[in-house]
Amino acid sequence: MMKKAMLTAVGLLLVACGQNDIPSSPSQVPYNGSSATGSVTAAASTLSAKPLVAQGLRRIGFGFNGTVSGFPTGAVFVTGGGAFERTSYFTDAAGGFRCIEAVLQGPLSVSINLNHAGACLAGDGIRWDTAALLDSTTFRCTASATEETAVTSGDTVVLQADFYRTGDGNDESFTAKMIVSNGDISSRFPGANLWVQGVGCGHAQAVNFSD
């Protein structure tokens, strides 16, 4: 009986020590538009510490390149890709962009970078990255078109993106919404599968969505 008790005590001691050796992995709390505290944060952190596959979540990869226009001024070339997961709001996407013609309306016409003022002019632009994955957005392919709605799904992604010009470093010049899709996003403009807020729609080439 004494021997069994001693073995039990030793076992408990080994388990306790082993717990201190378990490496902690960084967690990513799913974006939900607001900060969380207390037990909600703890629960989200526990869930997010697991790989997405282990959580049964579907990560979708995508890639594209194309040119958008349609509003009174401006044309923009964008390319890139990445991955997203709708349930956890995970997103990691980026690419290149360039204003082919000056954009004089919408988000790309007003810089939010105090050190780099002015609209996106012809030849401006170097890269974009993702600020957030959005559930949906309303959009117009032209300034006079009726608003339509795009929804993030298995073959369409709606992003809030940051756009950088040469010399910006990590401080973006513009922030605007983007839509990339494997199919038509507009019932009025057949073939349109790419959109940048305030610039218009386009037909992206080499579009690929996969999981």
pTM: 0.74
Residue 1 within any structural domain of the chain: no
Rounded CA gap, 208 and 61, in Å? 8
Q: What is the pLDDT of residue 15?
A: 34
Find the domain containing 113 and state its range.
60-210
Residue 111 within any structural domain of the chain: yes
Residue 17 within any structural domain of the chain: no
CB 97 within 8 A of CB 107: no
Q: Do the strands 200-202 and 205-210 form a parallel or antiparallel pair, or are they unpaired? A: unpaired
- pLDDT higher at 105 or 19: 105
Rounded CA gap, 139 and 146, in Å? 8
Rounded CA gap, 69 and 6, in Å? 77
Over residues 28-77, the pLDDT tens digits come to: 333 333 333 333 233 333 333 344 444 558 899 999 999 999 999 999 99
Over residues 185-197, the pLDDT tens digits come to: 999 999 999 999 9
Residue 44 within any structural domain of the chain: no
Domain count, the chain: 1
Please give the share of the chain, as a percent, with pLDDT higher than 90.
Answer: 72
Residue 64 within any structural domain of the chain: yes
Residue 43 within any structural domain of the chain: no
Taking the CA atoms of residue 38, residue 44, residue 46 and residue 52 in that order, the dihedral angle to the nearest 10 degrees is -170
Q: Find, among 69, 68, 130, 120, the residue nearest to 99 by Cα.
A: 120
Residue 170 within any structural domain of the chain: yes
Residue 183 within any structural domain of the chain: yes
